[in-house]
Structure 1
């Protein structure tokens, strides 16, 4: 039994580590490269270049690191090397709109108008109305190609989209800020499984130690999965434990067993709230590093 519990727990942790985070790989990369991105945005170009150069040596397939090293090279007056870095980034992930925008800007400066337009078209397609920048630069390409009608259409759309994005959050931001999102829904499904596991352990265990151990592990996982909404998952897991125990199981045949199960049940509920708070606190602390 203990072996099955350990397997279940580590399977849940594996799920949290690999599937509960719904960000794209490029979004995760950008988050991990925040120090270098800040250096670039603050104008510390040489320091930013050294930072991204070192990160590429550590992780040679980081498309975001190549994007920003390319931007640093462009700022340092090396457009050819910059374009090479951006192309390398695209070879690892061609679904990053900024890579297409930046390659198109370099093509535009080099007079390669058809290549620039193709890059901006791709950027518009990938951005999915979450950024007005691809429309701006595609309009610039249309102007240089003499396609004034299409340039005006893009300029008008850029203006409308900027106003929309300034007055309302983007879908990606809204998804992160919305209380009930896809990630929370997936974690709720996992809570059904952990709640069922806890009821099973409570009914099968010979002492309070195993139910308490499982409850602590599951609750810490709750905090890591949802550092700000873990309280809801803790409430849900507690409610499922109570419902499952009283509605789906038979009462024990003797008083001693009943007392053991009561201690296990109510103690696990208390531990669920305490350990989920601890897990959320630890996750928030780690995120601040």
Structure 2
């Protein structure tokens, strides 16, 4: 039991370090690229391009690196390459506000208002009224399409929003991916099956070793499946373990057997939290490569 307490303690430390950070994935990613962003914003486009090109080589799925390499491409006079980079960034995370906004601006520069409007509509949605820029650029797209009335509405809203944001600054729009997405629902279904398997093992195992082994492997799978939402799946599995054991099984008459099952049950719950934190930590470490 002392060993399980130590594991739970270190699992909690992992949680504080890796789960309690409420920044979105794109915000965390941008924080690791501040050197290149500073180069771009100071006008050192060639150096910024080399920086982001190198980072993409190290981490090919970095949507923020693609965003800034695309901006560098635009400044260097390569609009087609810029669009290609922005689209690559969207292929890895299509919930990043800036990617849709910059893609819309690039399409406008190429006189492709219909494509620009599609991107800017998404930027307006993801912006969540935290920025007036999407309305400014969408008004331009609508004007090119001859939809003057809608363009005027956007320009009016842009003006009102800018005035509002002067007195009530909003948090910059970033990655706004929904918490309960399709992937999470699928993984919840997986948790139902692993919980049922674990209850079965607890009821039939002759020692604590097999339940603990199953609990550890299932919990590590939780962390790999959902490196940022694994805490929810871990809680769900613990609830299902308790419900499944006490509501759908018969408690043994033999006291020794009952103690064995209780030790297996509660130990498995502790291991579920600890191992899920560890699995999520390992998955995030692998994603950084």
Q: TM-score, normalised by structure 1?
A: 0.61
Say what the alpha-carbon RMSD is for the aligned residues: 4.6
The 1:53–1:241 alpha-carbon spacing in structure 2 relative to 1, beyond 3 Å, is closer
Corresponding residue number in structure 2 for 1:118: 114
Tell me if 1:39 matches 2:36: yes
State the distance in 2 between where 1:61 and 1:269 align.
34
The residue number in structure 1 matching 2:3 is none
Structure 1 residues 140 and 236: alpha-carbon distance in aligned structure 2, compared to 1, 3 A threshold = closer
Tell me, which stretches of 5 or more residues in structure 2 are unaligned? 1-23
C-alpha distance in structure 1 between counterparts of 2:63 and 2:277, whole Å: 36
Is contact 1:117–1:138 with CA below 8 Å preserved after alignment? no
What is residue 100 of structure 1 aligned with on the other side?
Answer: 103
The runs of 5 or more residues in structure 1 that have no matched partner are 1-26, 108-114
3-state SS of paired residue (1:194): helix
Q: Which has the higher contact order (CA 8 A, sep 6+)?
A: 2
For this pair of structures, how many residues does the alignment match? Answer: 247
Greater Cα shift, 94-103 or 144-153: 144-153
Deviation at 1:221, TM superposition (A): 4.2
Question: How far is 1:250 from its partner?
Answer: 3.0
Report if the CA contact (8 A) 1:48-1:72 is conserved.
yes
Distance 1:166 1:193, change over 3 A: farther
- Give the distance between the partners of 1:145 and 1:233, measured in 2 at CA: 47
Q: Report if aligned partners of 1:199, 1:241 keep a CA contact under 8 Å in 2.
A: yes
Aligned counterparts, 1:173-184, within 5 A: 173=176, 175=178, 181-182=180-181
Show the counterpart of 1:10.
none
Counterpart CA distance in 1 for 2:218 and 2:204 is 18
- Matched ranges for 1:50-65 at <5 A: 50-54=50-54
Distance 1:169 1:98, change over 3 A: closer
Distance 1:40 1:209, change over 3 A: same
| Superposition TM-score, scaled by structure 2 size | 0.61
